[in-house]
Amino acid sequence: MTLNETALLPVHERLGATMTDFAGWAMPLRYSSDREEHAAVRERAGIFDLSHMGQIRVEGPDAGAALDYALVGVLSTMPVGRARYSLMVKEDGGIIDDLIVYRNDDVDFLVIANGANRLRVGDELTKRSDRLRARAAVQDNTTARCLIAVQGPASLDIVRSVVDSEHRDELDTLGYYRHGRFTIGGTPVHIARTGYTGERGYEIMADANDAVLLWERLAEAGEPHGMRPCGLSSRDTLRLEAGMPLYGNELTEDRTPAEAGQGRTVVLDHEFVGEEALRKAGEPSTALYGLAGEGRRAARAGSTVSVDGEQVGVITSGVLSPTLGHPIALAILTAGLELGTEVSVDVRGKHQPMTIVHLPFYRSES
């Protein structure tokens, strides 16, 4: 099987990255060690290639209405320059993908989809737009674009130093879930603040032909700050500490948004695919919980969770937290369990006590 390659593959090879097949893309798993890359983001900064993420443009007079119908939220009322997290669900309410939608202007939206679901999301956006007879065009620009993320406490200083001077004040005031058009060395880029690590961070989207130059500029600017290239492995531990769900783990086609702890994303007073099923679903029987334990043994996805000998759910993501130094996990459990409840997790046949805690596990001060 031939893997898709991002425009930054030569950079990853030069840096000696360990590559992996991720959703059909050749992607860096790590460059040095997972722990070192994780710590760099928490303490200084890390740079990621996320060009495998789907970049799908929805444009036209009815683009907002088309997205309203295709997704569980209302995107048509979102102001220009804002971004919103949303979900696409099936007719039965099961989750197809979680997405971030950016509004560029009155008729132009950008949808960022997970790499594994990019083709399906694009196809569903087209089908749902056509069903609505919306005047909107859907175009998948992923392979022609790049997406580079700089995450960590030093991210603003790093990105600010490469952005052309006339845009620096605008970057300084760019709020969370905001985005805009900038230039770096005269090269047009789209910069957003919608990261997936729990730290302050910036995502730089541009033409794929400019990817290597942009990476090199950012890497040079980040060197005095101790920025490190980071792979998918550290990205996963970072997002887990931040309590952020992952498609394929917490979010699946077999779970509705409410069952996966994402019911807040659903706006039922508008027409969308899956609305009827979600309206009839009633109160969810499960919910998303955070669990924390002691020692060094981490629960893994698929481990069963019990209370007083009765199984109440399953671990969906688990790790020995590099930042906190103890095991943490996300789990889908019976709804209604209280904070502080002690549970038993089956970790490779052995009992591992863990406690239900507030999410996120880690909150940045930057």
CB 70 within 8 A of CB 127: no
Q: For the chain, give the number of residues.
A: 366
Q: Which amino acid is at 255?
A: R
Residue 27 to residues 31, 177, 210, 232: CA-CA distances in angstroms? 11, 26, 18, 8
CB 286 within 8 A of CB 259: yes
Sign of the Cα torsion 33, 34, 38, 41 reads: positive
CB 307 within 8 A of CB 338: no
Alpha helix (H) residue ranges in the chain: 9-14, 34-43, 63-70, 118-132, 155-162, 168-172, 211-222, 232-241, 275-281
Burial bucket for residue 7 (CB in 10 Å: 0-12, 13-18, 19+): buried
DSSP string spanning 87-145?
A: EEE-TTS-EEEEEEEEEEETTEEEEEE-GGGHHHHHHHHHHHHHHHT-S-EEEE-GGGE
Residue 341 to residues 93, 308, 331: CA-CA distances in angstroms? 30, 11, 13
User: Residue 188 contacts by C-beta under 8 Å, 6 or more apart in sequence?
Assistant: 181, 182, 206, 207
Say if residue 365 carries a ligand binding annotation: no
Q: Which amino acid is at 309?
A: G
The alpha carbons of the chain give a radius of gyration, in whole angstroms, of 21
Helix, strand, coil percentages in the chain from 3-state DSSP, rounded to 5:
25, 35, 40
Which residues participate in the annotated binding site? 203
Which residues participate in the annotated binding site for substrate? 203
